[in-house]
């Protein structure tokens, strides 16, 4: 697995949860020592509609064990993303990658694209799309990553 250089990168993106148009720093280094899922999504993505409830369940089940989930929106129009989030409210943080810089750094090729990053900063798993029948497999990878100490 390759070491994710983004752990030391600080990128500025607006985020969901504060006042409209608020901005926050997207810095994976602040989550060093945790297991992080970075999930790229868009409002037009049908599998994303199935993945959000599952991501919420994973957050609720594993956040206290060190899991951090970061949803990264790639919509061209923020209003479309906001409408999606009203329908599928996340229990995890959402960033808007309007420049698509982060998507390029992760080599996103499909929607959704999810990256499971271990406590050591290594990408442990990646999956493209979201398949309901593979939810158990996805969660097993999370649990395995959480069980590993640096």
Q: Which residues pair with 37 in a beta bridge?
A: 69, 116
- For the stretch 44-103, pLDDT in tens is 999 999 999 999 999 999 999 999 999 999 999 999 999 999 999 999 999 998 888 889
Q: Are strands 67-73 and 35-41 parallel, antiparallel or unpaired?
A: parallel
Q: So what's the pLDDT on residue 121?
A: 86
| Contact by Cβ (8 Å): 33, 116 | no
Q: Tell me the pLDDT of the chain averaged across its residues.
A: 84
Q: So what's the pLDDT on residue 48?
A: 96
Q: Please give the Cα distance from 65 to 41 (Å, whole number).
A: 25
Q: So what's the pLDDT on residue 31?
A: 85
Residue 103 in tokens: 């998507």
Distance of CA 103 to the CA centre of its chain: 11
Q: So what's the pLDDT on residue 84?
A: 97
Q: So what's the pLDDT on residue 150?
A: 56
Q: Which superfamily is assigned to 40-147 in CATH? A: Glutaredoxin (3.40.30.10)
Residue 104 in tokens: 């390029």
Q: So what's the pLDDT on residue 73?
A: 95
Q: Quick one: angle between helices 46-62 and 78-87, nearest 10?
A: 60
Q: Could you tell me the pTM of the whole model?
A: 0.85
Q: Where are the domains of the chain?
A: 40-147
C-alpha dist (Å) from residue 41 to 63, 98, 102, 110 = 20, 12, 12, 9
**Does pLDDT of 14 surpass 70?**
no
């Amino acid at each position: 697995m390759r070491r994710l250089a983004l752990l030391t990168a600080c990128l500025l993106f607006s985020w969901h949860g504060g006042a409209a148009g608020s901005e926050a720093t997207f810095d994976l280094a602040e989550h060093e020592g945790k297991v992080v899922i970075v999930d790229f999504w868009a409002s037009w993505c049908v599998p994303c509609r199935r993945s959000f409830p599952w991501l919420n369940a994973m957050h609720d089940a594993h956040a206290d064990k060190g899991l951090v989930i970061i949803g990264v929106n790639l919509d061209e129009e923020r209003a479309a993303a906001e409408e999606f989030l009203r329908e599928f409210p996340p229990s995890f943080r959402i960033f808007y990658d309007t420049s698509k810089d982060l998507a390029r750094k992760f080599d996103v090729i499909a929607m959704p694209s999810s990256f499971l990053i271990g406590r050591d900063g290594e990408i442990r798993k990646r999956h493209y799309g979201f398949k309901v029948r593979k939810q158990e497999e996805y969660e097993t990878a999370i649990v395995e990553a959480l069980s590993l100490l640096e």
